[in-house]
Each structure stands twice: as C-alpha cells, then as structure tokens.
Amino acid sequence: MNQDQLISAISRLGFFGAFAFLSVAFVELVVHFFGYTILRQTYKPGRLMELAALILIFVIALLLRQVRDELKERGAAR
C-alpha cells in the first residue's frame, strides 16, 4: 500500500466518522426534543458536532496536501 492509498483511506474513514458523529448528534437532538436521550448526556449534541468538525479539518488538510503534491508533479512534468 503506497502513501496515496493510505491517505485516501484515512480521509474516507475520517469523513465517514465525522458523518456518523453528525448523524448521532442530529438523532440525539430529535430524541431530546421528546424528553429522551440516547447517550445519557455523556456527550451533548453540540460536543459531537465539534468533534465532527475537528475530524473534518484533518480530512481537509489531507486533501489539500494531495492537491499540492499533484500540482507539484504536474509542474515538474512540464
């Protein structure tokens, strides 16, 4: 497995993890509206959204790194 494949796998895993956090936060908000809870207030929905945003920042950084490397390769080929 080369570096590009590894970074791609980590980016996808991070994206789906962040999406899962956002989904759980949304479900928790809806369920809390009816007076119940799923997570027993261990993590509040706002905190889950913060964690999802943090993960997405790292995913964006990895994607920007891939774009930079690709632009360097294209520039060297000219």
For 76, the token pair is 């060297």
Give percent of the chain with pLDDT exceeding 70. 99
40 confidence band (pLDDT: 50, 70, 90): confident
Mean pLDDT of 67-71: 91
Q: How far apart are CA 66 and CA 3, in angstroms?
A: 10
pLDDT for 78 equals: 67
The mean pLDDT of 60-74, rounded to a whole number, is: 92
Q: Would you mind telling me the total number of residues written for the chain in this entry?
A: 78
> Has residue 67 got a pLDDT over 80?
yes
Report, in angstroms and rounded to the nearest whole number, the Rg of the chain calculated over CA atoms. Answer: 18
Question: What is the tens place of the pLDDT at every residue in 1-38?
Answer: 788 899 999 999 999 999 999 999 999 999 999 989 99
- Residue partners of 25: CB distance under 8 A and separation at least 6: 45, 46, 48, 49, 52
Amino acid (1-letter code) at residue 19: F
Q: Find how far residue 17's CA is from the centre of its chain.
A: 6
